[in-house]
Structure 1
Amino acid sequence: MGDLRLLVPAVAAWTTAWLVVGAPDVGLDPRVIAATIWGAGAAVLALLLLGRRREDGGVLRLAWPLLLVALAASGLVAATAANTLAQRAASPLVATAVHHSTVEVVVEVVSAPRAMRGPVWAEASDDPTLRIDARLVAVGGLAVSPVAVTTSVQVPAEHVQLGARLGFDARVSRLPASEESGFRLRAAGDVRVVDAAPPWLAWAGGLRQGFAEAARGLAGDGAALVPGLAIGDTSAVGEALGAAMKASSLSHLTAVSGANCAIVTAAAFVVAGLCRVRRTGRIVVAMLALAGFIVLVTPQPSVIRAGTMAVVVLVALAAGRPGGGVAALSVAVIVLLAFDPWLARDYGFALSAAATGGLLLLTAPLAARLSRIMPTPLAGVLAVPLAAQLACQPILVLLDPAIALYGVPANLLAAPAAPIGTVVGLLGCLALPLLPSVGMAFLQVAWLPASWIALVAHGAAALPGGRLPWLPDAPGALLLVAGTALALWLALLPPGRSWLRGLAAALLVLATAMPLGAAAGGPLVGAATRPRDWDVAACDIGQGDAVLVRSAGATALIDTGPEPFALERCLTMLGIERIDLLVLTHWDADHVGGAGAVAGRVDTVIHGPLDGDRSDRVLDPLALGGAATIEVTAGHGGELGDARWRVVWPKARAVPGNDASVVLDLDAPGYRGVFLGDLGEEAQLRLLRSFDLGRVDLVKVAHHGSADQSEALYRELGATVGMIGVGAENGYGHPTDRLLDILTATGTTPVRTDRSGTAVLTADDAGGFGLWTERGGGAVGGRA
């Protein structure tokens, strides 16, 4: 019982952190919340001390100390969040963001750089565009209070190492309070290395890069997975393999967390023991090995959680009081949330903690229950992935409203290979700089289990019926929690009590039928209630674009969103079976990732400049399905039913990327619209100088409502409606206040898919639009 008691303050701290970091976004003061919690803690402490003086204080002795600890943990988390938010509000970057100016900044890299797929803001360069999480250390040459920021830079990858300091002129966008980073920085010029990474951090960057380069010498998907299994480097994992890993619930194998840290810590402890080091020395050696491993794999949220939990266990062991796993997990969660409350909203951290909690709490009872119907060894093996899947699935539903039905068997098949690939791959990583041939031999051995895991992933993903649709967002997650709890209650009930089993089974059927019916019925209800003669529809596909246009029985689709299932849901709702014209504005996954949903259903595809493998992966299945593919530049045009369209951007010989998005000007009976892809402000200004666009009725807002917009262009267009394809809580702060202010100033009404769901516009005879939304909100007036 004592082992589980710390779960209460851990859950309280997590809930508090989740609420407080988002408080300013809903108009609440986090300082008031923190003060209230501390006040409640003081009151409980006073009552507790009073209760100790009374002989009848038995209940107080049991419940109130636990409540006091929960309030103390919550108060510490709230105080940290309030202090950090106050530092953000006082940052000189706030004024820069308001005035849309540039400022010289120096940032310190705090995470491994992530290569972005193609140029975003800069022109062509030999250096990749890297997205980094960093800590602001100076503005305008003056040191400032550290603030978390996110930025994208074009600089050699070896210069962007953990601990390095970079300087550049930046344009600044302020992000919502609920985001880990307070600001997004956009490099407005050359990026320079102010200080190289310190030696105790620099060694890891070279080791990671050398390991990745050596792994590229291997073949197939196994080569891409070896770095992921060993050190969590998934940069070589392509879109197809990544999708297969997600669909089969195997993507956690390439996310460094508890198993990796446990292997490293245990190995160091054992080796130190073989060297006859005393217990205290063995613990120190294990901690040093763990610290080195965290630096090597970079401090991602799941790694930090696992590492902190391992440290808690080692400290307890050193004190001669080894605690249970649940207590260690609870302490680790409280400590980390007190240090960084924004971890409460990080999916990686949540999945890591949930999986660990599921393994600790559910594995033993599930194994005992399964052993009644199967051999005990098999029950023990099956209970492990089942416990982790049950614990993580409610969180996974928030990311993808579906349940992977083959996740448990896929994990069973992959389980024997994962630790081999992890250990042998890590040994290869460490051996490469000293003994290259030995290191390469280790990599070749690790390639075998990695290839097997890739084979399992592709096989499970290809099986029919592997994805069960579920109710999205918080309602779906809560219903899944309820259904899981009922299923566990039903499975773990002792023999007898048939009426309880019947009640549990009935409730389980109800809890399951509700979200399944909602997930399946949503498109049917939408199809029954939406207007039949609509003209333009913005699909709710999350953070991305997918816009449908109809005219005289012909249909065009402009981009496909990030995932096939989301686009398929929209097409079903709107009754679209065939696409006459598919426009792929550019090759970012949030615009073309869902193309698989329309393969074999498209007549003609038009697209911008090709981008090697990225464009081939999208176009090849469409071409095999019978579509004609045409690369277009400004000046191309054609007809869609009674409407005429022309391409006004990009110009010839454009470099692939956001600023080479295909921009379509559509002139249809009753309205005219312009669809801007992901053009940034500079490209928008060049478009404005190149073409006399004139006034339009509808604009598809560029880049999901980012701050990188030209007010002059939107003023020129003067649209009645601005469609914004944007995901709820997208992490980018889209749509930004700047974009919304521009739309207000130009008299353009925003229609946002994050709030409306799928939105349908119908041009009316009065010169306006009728608006139907999936969530029943919004209206659009007539044209100006």
Structure 2
Amino acid sequence: MTEAPPGRDLRLVVPAAAAWAVAAIAIGIDALPAMAAWATTGVSLALVAVALVDSRRRSVWAAASLALLAIGAVLLSASGAAEVRKPAEFRDAAAQSRQVTVVATVTQTVHRPLGSETASADQNGGIANEITPTAENWRGAAPEPFRATVSRLAVGHNASDSALDERTFSVPVMIFGSVHGGNAAVGDTVRVSGSLIAGEPGDGAAYRIFSADDAEVVERGEGIVSAAAGMRARFLDLVGSLPGDGGSLLPGLAIGDTTLVSDDLDEAMKLSALSHLTAVSGANCAIIVALVMALGARLRWPRGLRIVTAVAVLCGFVVLVTPEPSVLRAAVMALAVLSGRFVGRGAGGLPALALAVFVLLLIDPWLARNLGFTLSVLATAGLLVLAAPLTGVLGRFLPRPIAAVIALPLAAQLACQPVIILLSPSIPVWGVVANILAAPAAPVATVVGLAACIVAGLSPPLAQLIAVLAWVPAAWIAAVATWFAGLPNSQIPWWEGVPGLAACAAVSTCALMAVLVRRRAVRSSAAMALACIAIVTAGSTAGSALRSAATTPQDWQFAACDVGQGDAMVIRSAGEVALIDTGQEPELISACLNRLGVDRIDLLVLTHFDADHVGGAETVLGRVKIVLAGPPDGQRDEALLKRFEQSGSEVLMATRGLAGNLGEHRWTVLWPPRSASPGPGNDASVVTAFTGGPACETCLTSVLLGDLGREAQLRLGALNRAELASLAPVDVVKVAHHGSRDQAATLYEQLDARVGVIGVGAGNDYGHPTADILATLRTLGTASARTDRDGLVLIAFRDGEMVLWRERGG
């Protein structure tokens, strides 16, 4: 039998792909039976026996056996990890929504949110940041969640060390909250208290911890981990003085730290299809290994020494940039290739990629649903399979070097775009061109920036000079991204979700068949199919826009703006407007208000001062008549209210019983109470009820619950029992806390709403909205509308009935 050429050997690809597909399904099963894994392994061994007997079809039986063996191994790994990930102590605490205290090891670098910030290395090699709160930087204070592995657990808030369970755990969690001092490095040990919530079965994090207080770093990492943290800190301090977007982007290119990347630059990188350059990716590992091997060859090192040195440098690089999924994929793939060379055998790209996928899934089956891992594998596969054929086709019309430069980003985009559609339902028009211009600068910025990082601890002046050299290609990449993102019509709208993925995959397949397949009949059929898909897509996009414009109710009374992971609700009555919260991003709330035709706001309700509720407040400064605010939490919140007063607004502190008029509506504050009020935060959220006046029979009634948790909801229901009884059934309820798990079903029963509106961001890390609250709404007969899927939501009252309009779905 003729052996497949190197790089096209599919013997490992099929088992790895099968194991990946099964793992993606299996991790979504909450209680995966180990028997399924053992049964799969048993069938695999049986097929081996069949292959020994049936020599004619031995290769077929062997391939099937290998695939089943790979599936069985991954299933065994998943079933064995299930109990480790979700031990009984954690399950019991989460089922009872208990407060817990945990000790955990940080597995993701944590930085203070970007604002008025400076970073410097402390004496212990960690990171010491200082930030001066100002009225201008307050909206950047929302901390990013970070990953950690819990080793100790105690039930109770701020439990003592003696209360910690003697058993040692290894439970992956996502912690939502800040770290005291603002920063923690990979390998640091933190202690934190908060609510323990079970994650979805397929999540990489088995549990989510919503911290009540700042996490405290109780022990810094040691050894190489601590040294790497110190190097990252010194490098951040070094590039902090570099100007513009180049200085912001350089740490990401060199060491994978995106702390300095602004939201605008991040968005520009995404719109121009350059987001893979924002941080260290798998390609950087290949660059580092290639440089070490080339240097060793130049110095005439023996092959074994070159390989051992390359492995050592690669491991150090992974520790420095932190082991993200794409980096791990590239590192394991590189190790496979180097191991083959060490024993004197070549290793094709596809077998090495397949082996890397299988090994990583065997270690952590939950990578099967990790988007970064998926895109890294697809991009690499696209380069290995498509780059050479596309270069050959383009080489008929262009010089071969230019053809290769175009083929590389085109191959990666064709492979990855169907999955990217799930994140952003659009196709970048200039993505390939932007990559052609920017991608060659990335290796230069990476290598030179990494050199600056290494030298920073030895000679800061020399490191500064090297960093300036690295800044040049980084600034070029940022300039390319910003320029292409600013071009008109830079994105082609596309279908969302799985239909969009399938359509995009069909387009990619047809396009490749049309240019790569030699048979004329196949090429013609593929071209015809491609044209049909393009026509249908264009018609569907145009039709959606026309349908949206034609069906949008102009007589809306209630609007839920799509502002990402945050709240921004608008109520309109007889020409007057109330805005309840502003979301986090000024650009998003501004766009929504412009679309709704809202210029002047008669009543602004700031339910509480979390960034996802007041971050966009600066947009409406000078346009608000009355501000109704919850209790401020510190000088930053008080400064915001002072700015509204200075811009001409009347600021009122909301307490139960406060009321007023909005056009034909009457608004009333139901929460917080005048006495025994909870402190600032979610449970002090201002809850308002809007009802129609005596002469308004068409006015919709609504209750907006802010971010109240379960206990506060129960108190609200008890304190306002008579008021809620007179309101029920309510037309609209704004579901509390973006549909989190911390809900009181009895309050929703009291309200008996016809529509439940949820302000929530697509793909958020919080698991919002949860299946529990959606089930509660369904049980009560309450229709749910959610901004992550529906976009802008409008509700009107027409011809004696409510009209619920969704931007995505009508």
Q: Is TM (by shorter chain) over 0.5? A: yes
Q: Which moved more, 1:350-359 or 1:501-510?
A: 501-510
* Corresponding position: 1:204 with 2:201: no
Aligned pair in 2 of structure 1 residues 515, 629: CA closer, same or farther (>3 Å)? farther
Deviations along 1:533-582, one digit per CA (max 9) or x if unpaired, are 5533446676544545443466666567789999999999xx84556549
Q: Distance in 2 between matches of 1:589 and 1:516?
A: 38
* Corresponding position: 1:138 with 2:152: yes
Q: Distance in 1 between matches of 2:40 and 2:378?
A: 26
Aligned pair in 2 of structure 1 residues 199, 530: CA closer, same or farther (>3 Å)? same
Q: Distance in 1 between matches of 2:210 and 2:334?
A: 37
Q: Hey, what does 2:653 align to over in structure 1? A: 634
Give the Å deviation of 1:414.
Answer: 1.1
Do 1:633 and 1:649's aligned partners in 2 also have CA atoms closer than 8 Å? no
Q: Which moved more, 1:503-512 or 1:238-247?
A: 503-512
Give the Å deviation of 1:514.
Answer: 3.0
Q: Hey, what does 1:704 align to over in structure 2? A: 738
| 3-state SS of paired residue (2:205) | coil
Matches within 5 A, 1:672-691: 672-678=701-707
Gaps of 5+ in 1: 621-627, 778-784
Give the Å deviation of 1:151.
Answer: 0.8
Matches within 5 A, 1:212-223: 212-223=236-247
Give the Å deviation of 1:109.
Answer: 1.5
Matches within 5 A, 1:133-532: 133-140=147-154, 141=164, 142-156=166-180, 160-189=184-213, 191-494=215-518, 497=520, 499-525=521-547
Do 1:355 and 1:391's aligned partners in 2 also have CA atoms closer than 8 Å? yes
Q: Distance in 1 between matches of 2:635 and 2:416?
A: 37
Q: Hey, what does 1:667 align to over in structure 2? A: 691
Do 2:175 and 2:211's aligned partners in 1 also have CA atoms closer than 8 Å? yes
Q: Hey, what does 1:624 align to over in structure 2? A: none
Do 2:387 and 2:408's aligned partners in 1 also have CA atoms closer than 8 Å? yes
Give the Å deviation of 1:209.
Answer: 1.4
Give the letter for the 2:250 counterpart: V
Q: What RMSD over aligned residues (CA atoms) do the two structures have, in Å?
A: 4.5
Give the letter for the 1:438 counterpart: L
Q: Distance in 1 between matches of 2:710 and 2:426?
A: 37
Aligned pair in 2 of structure 1 residues 710, 309: CA closer, same or farther (>3 Å)? same
Give the letter for the 1:169 counterpart: S
Do 1:113 and 1:157's aligned partners in 2 also have CA atoms closer than 8 Å? no
Do 1:265 and 1:286's aligned partners in 2 also have CA atoms closer than 8 Å? yes
Do 1:545 and 1:560's aligned partners in 2 also have CA atoms closer than 8 Å? yes
Q: Distance in 2 between matches of 1:482 and 1:416?
A: 30
Do 1:555 and 1:579's aligned partners in 2 also have CA atoms closer than 8 Å? no
Give the letter for the 2:59 counterpart: L
Q: Distance in 2 between matches of 1:490 and 1:737?
A: 44
Give the Å deviation of 1:493.
Answer: 3.4
Do 1:584 and 1:591's aligned partners in 2 also have CA atoms closer than 8 Å? no
Do 1:639 and 1:645's aligned partners in 2 also have CA atoms closer than 8 Å? yes
Q: Distance in 2 between matches of 1:607 and 1:32?
A: 59
Deviations along 1:632-661, one digit per CA (max 9) or x if unpaired, are 553598765433557888999x99987887
Q: Distance in 1 between matches of 2:626 and 2:24?
A: 44
Do 1:543 and 1:561's aligned partners in 2 also have CA atoms closer than 8 Å? yes
* Corresponding position: 1:41 with 2:25: no
Deviations along 1:439-461, one digit per CA (max 9) or x if unpaired, are 11111111122112111111111
Aligned pair in 2 of structure 1 residues 503, 693: CA closer, same or farther (>3 Å)? farther
| 3-state SS of paired residue (2:167) | strand
| 3-state SS of paired residue (2:398) | coil
Gaps of 5+ in 2: 117-130, 134-140, 155-163
Give the Å deviation of 1:90.
Answer: 3.1
Do 2:142 and 2:610's aligned partners in 1 also have CA atoms closer than 8 Å? no
| 3-state SS of paired residue (1:508) | helix
Aligned pair in 2 of structure 1 residues 639, 432: CA closer, same or farther (>3 Å)? farther
* Corresponding position: 1:10 with 2:29: no
Q: Hey, what does 2:760 align to over in structure 1? A: 726
Do 1:175 and 1:181's aligned partners in 2 also have CA atoms closer than 8 Å? yes
| 3-state SS of paired residue (1:344) | helix
Do 1:544 and 1:726's aligned partners in 2 also have CA atoms closer than 8 Å? yes
Deviations along 1:469-498, one digit per CA (max 9) or x if unpaired, are 00011111111111111111112233x72x
Matches within 5 A, 1:752-767: 752=786, 760-762=794-796
Give the Å deviation of 1:270.
Answer: 3.4
Tell me the number of residue pairs that the alignment of Structure 1 and Structure 2 aligns: 748
Aligned pair in 2 of structure 1 residues 228, 660: CA closer, same or farther (>3 Å)? farther
TM-score normalised according to structure 1 size = 0.83
Paired-residue identity, %: 42
| 3-state SS of paired residue (1:197) | coil
Give the Å deviation of 1:23.
Answer: 2.4
Give the Å deviation of 1:614.
Answer: 13
Give the Å deviation of 1:753.
Answer: 5.0
Give the letter for the 2:573 counterpart: S
Do 1:230 and 1:425's aligned partners in 2 also have CA atoms closer than 8 Å? yes
Give the letter for the 1:518 counterpart: S
Aligned pair in 2 of structure 1 residues 533, 343: CA closer, same or farther (>3 Å)? same
Q: Hey, what does 1:623 align to over in structure 2? A: none
Structure 1 residue corresponding to 2:64, chosen from 63, 67, 86: 67
Do 2:86 and 2:171's aligned partners in 1 also have CA atoms closer than 8 Å? no
Q: Hey, what does 1:91 align to over in structure 2? A: 88
| 3-state SS of paired residue (1:134) | strand
Q: Which moved more, 1:97-106 or 1:677-686?
A: 677-686
Aligned pair in 2 of structure 1 residues 245, 664: CA closer, same or farther (>3 Å)? farther
Give the Å deviation of 1:462.
Answer: 0.8
TM-score normalised according to structure 2 size = 0.80
Aligned pair in 2 of structure 1 residues 79, 269: CA closer, same or farther (>3 Å)? same
